[in-house]
Amino acid sequence: MLRAQLAQRMKTSGNKPNKRRRRCDEAADAEVLARILDIISGLLVLGPEKRRRRTTQEKIAIVQQSFEPGMTVSDD
């Protein structure tokens, strides 16, 4: 189940009857959903949130260092 589906299910899981299923155990669904959300919240986040943030001055200093005599820049 995708996060978007979980979010949608949370929004629609109030006191409304579930039209897709005849038998519906809201307490069991809520328990399973809570366990899934607990697992998702513990997942390691990779991507922009974990990237190193540099100030403009730090970036300028790095570029200036790369142009100093004897320095080489490569994409290793």
What's the pLDDT at 44?
Answer: 74
CA 37 – CA 68 distance, rounded (Å): 51
Q: In the chain, what are the domain boundaries?
A: 3-51
What's the pLDDT at 72?
Answer: 80
Contact indicator for 13, 30 with CB cutoff of 8 Å:
yes
- Please report, in tens digits, the pLDDT of each residue of the chain (76 residues total): 566 777 777 776 555 555 665 566 788 888 888 888 888 887 776 666 666 788 999 999 988 888 888 888 776 6
* AA identity, residue 65: Q
What's the pLDDT at 1?
Answer: 58
What's the pLDDT at 23?
Answer: 63
